[in-house]
Amino acid sequence: MGLVVQKYGGSSVADAEGIKRVAKRIVEAKKNGHQVVVVVSAMGDTTDELIDLAGEVSPVTSGREFDMLLTAGERISMALLAMAIKSLGHEAQSFTGSQAGVITDSVHNKARIIDVTPGRIKTALDEGNIAIVAGFQGVSQDKKDITTLGRGGSDTTAVALAAALDAEVCEIYTDVDGVFTADPRVVKKARKIDWISFEDMLELASSGSKVLLHRCVEYARRYNIPIHVRSSFSGLRGTWVSNQPQGDQPMEQALISGVAHDTSEAKITVVGVPDKPGEAAKIFRAIADGELNIDMVVQNVSAASTGLTDISFTLPKTDGRRAIEALERAKASIGFDSLRYDDQIAKISLVGAGMKTNPGVTATFFEALSGAGVNIELISTSEIRISVVTRKDDVNEAVRAVHTAFGLDSESDEAVVYGGTGR
């Protein structure tokens, strides 16, 4: 039996009962002969409460001090979890990100891991302890300041530790049974995926699936760490994310992994752009200078009579205002007529390996949408993904139609749903 890294999110340790339930599950793994490293998030609403407090004393809720504040959250949950495990008669020690050797860059609030030196964790394991590590946090390499890793930080901590400790598997415990072929709240017949490749999981994550974040999957793929996403409530086998089906995992792999949707983006259309080389570059330079990330980009066919074209792109709604401002500032140098902002859109993505080499897939996808009376506004494709932008009102019907068209519907009528997912 080898080393297992388990990660528990905030909803799994929301209160004393949750902490005690998780402690029992951890002790089980230890009793089964594993060395166990646990990564834990802050309890339930702790982080939100700290953010509220910060808002009461300062208009600026970011930077070094904000990280110092937020990291108190995991400190509380990890210490309580260690105490709960000890009360079950097993030895446990908790470690901050810094103590666990999670070394990051100095970008506060969204630091990136640049090294993991888990010497103290190894010692704790060798001495027979269960090691509890604070997720979401690290220490900056140059200034030795406490940093936080931003969204999906705890999952990334878990995968990074699994890689550094050469773990057998990184188990991500959450409040759903695994990764589904579509969001079970939208598609009642969505099926739990038993196994999915890193690549397909990356595409699903970029396309709106919220169970695992892109960043964590990317890290796992780079170091080839199998991830097992499963419920901390049910104890059932969940979804394995890895290079290839392993051991008792089913060898068959469906061509199509799943359907993802995303309603968190907005569309900006830059109207009346001179259709000559370099114009698009100016637009995206203005966006990049504002440190804004864009998703899909489409340039319309130019109307030959005017020599002008329209360029549309999507980006997170939360960045919408800043993107509009950045473009307005650069209006003179870029040269365009006007901007259109539309936040009533949805993105629907079909993800599966070998899609490009199966022309029928694209046809079936569009036929399904058309059959459901859904209009397509933008299209973007990759090797293993097709995404379209539609009206937001059409999203549920569109996802269901595509899910059925690709034979993803389960036999049973109802998927098991436990609620939303944590960070």
Give contact residues for a second copy (rule: CB under 8 A): 16, 19-20, 23, 50, 53-54, 56-61, 64-66, 68-69, 71-73, 75-76, 78-84, 86-87, 92-94, 99, 120, 144
Please state, as a whole number, how many other Cβ atoms lie within 10 Å of the Cβ of residue 372: 18
Sheet strand arrangement including 169-174: 92-95, 130-134, 35-40, 3-8, 169-174, 227-231, 239-242, 195-197
CB of residue 200 vs a second copy: minimum separation in angstroms? 39
CB of residue 125 vs a second copy: minimum separation in angstroms? 16
Ligand-binding annotation for 63, yes or no, is no
Ligand-binding annotation for 45, yes or no, is no
For residue 226, what are its two tokens?
Answer: 């199998």
CB of residue 409 vs a second copy: minimum separation in angstroms? 43
Q: Which is nearer to a second copy, 103 or 266 (CB)?
A: 103
Q: Which is nearer to a second copy, 1 or 72 (CB)?
A: 72
CB of residue 291 vs a second copy: minimum separation in angstroms? 22
Q: Which is nearer to a second copy, 74 or 295 (CB)?
A: 74
Q: Which is nearer to a second copy, 51 or 308 (CB)?
A: 51
Task: Tell me if 401 sits within 8 A of 364, measured CB to CB.
Answer: no
* 222: nearest Cα among 198, 190, 246, 191: 198
- How far is residue 312's CA from residue 22's CA, in Å, rounded to a whole number? 47
- Whether the CA torsion 369, 316, 206, 50 is positive or negative: it is negative
Ligand-binding annotation for 307, yes or no, is no
Q: Give the burial string for 213-225 (b: 16+ CB within 10 Å, else e).
A: bbbbbebbbeeeb
Ligand-binding annotation for 67, yes or no, is no
Backbone angles phi, psi at 171, to 5 degrees: -95, 120
Ligand-binding annotation for 174, yes or no, is yes
Ligand-binding annotation for 47, yes or no, is yes
Residue 66 is which amino acid?
F
Q: Which is nearer to a second copy, 146 or 283 (CB)?
A: 146
Ligand-binding annotation for 7, yes or no, is yes
Q: Which is nearer to a second copy, 78 or 415 (CB)?
A: 78
Ligand-binding annotation for 175, yes or no, is yes
- How far is residue 385's CA from residue 356's CA, in Å, rounded to a whole number? 8
Ligand-binding annotation for 210, yes or no, is yes
Q: Which is nearer to a second copy, 11 or 197 (CB)?
A: 11
Task: Tell me if 5 sits within 8 A of 155, measured CB to CB.
Answer: no
Task: Tell me if 13 sits within 8 A of 77, measured CB to CB.
Answer: yes
CA distances to 188, 190, 265, 396, 409 from 412, rounded to whole Å, are 9, 9, 32, 19, 8
CB of residue 52 vs a second copy: minimum separation in angstroms? 9
